[in-house]
């Protein structure tokens, strides 16, 4: 029977970076807990599940950054459009 080898698929740089970060996190237990917090474990292998958890982490971070910009814009323009006239110049 001939020996078959698996073809190595080159992953995009951001997926590779996320995998390296996930491997070098404080502990594998912390990564496992974070991945479970993101949702149900998907993927046929542990590596595929880690890639999916990395993508979910990127989506979560983008949500948080977007929300911070929205909140900072609201705070910056809080009461910025309303100017009160002095009492003697107000119309009745």
Instruction: Let me know if residue 42 belongs to a domain.
Output: yes
Contacts of 78 (CB under 8 A, 6+ apart): none
Instruction: Let me know if residue 88 belongs to a domain.
Output: no
Task: State the pLDDT at residue 62.
Answer: 96
Number of domain units in the chain: 1
Task: State the pLDDT at residue 70.
Answer: 96
Instruction: Let me know if residue 17 belongs to a domain.
Output: yes
Instruction: Let me know if residue 81 belongs to a domain.
Output: no
- 20: containing domain: 13-76
Instruction: Let me know if residue 82 belongs to a domain.
Output: no
What is the chain's Cα-based Rg? 25
Instruction: Let me know if residue 85 belongs to a domain.
Output: no
Q: What tens digit of pLDDT does each residue of 24-80 get?
A: 655 677 878 888 888 887 888 888 888 888 899 999 999 999 999 999 999 988 877
Instruction: Let me know if residue 70 belongs to a domain.
Output: yes
Query: How far is C-alpha 43 from the chain's CA centre?
Result: 19
- Side-chain half-sphere exposure of 62, counting CA atoms within 13 A: 6
Instruction: Let me know if residue 28 belongs to a domain.
Output: yes
CA–CA gap between residue 52 and residue 46 (Å, rounded): 10
More confident residue, 20 or 33: 33
């Amino acid at each position: 029977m001939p020996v078959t080898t698996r073809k190595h698929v080159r992953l995009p740089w951001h997926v590779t970076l996320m995998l390296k970060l996930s491997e070098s996190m404080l502990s594998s237990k912390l990564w496992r807990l974070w991945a479970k917090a993101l949702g149900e474990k998907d993927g046929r292998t542990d590596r595929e599940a880690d890639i999916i958890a990395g993508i979910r982490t990127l989506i979560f971070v983008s949500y948080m950054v977007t929300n911070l910009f929205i909140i900072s814009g609201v705070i910056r323009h809080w009461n910025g459009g309303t100017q009160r006239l002095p009492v003697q110049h107000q119309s009745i």
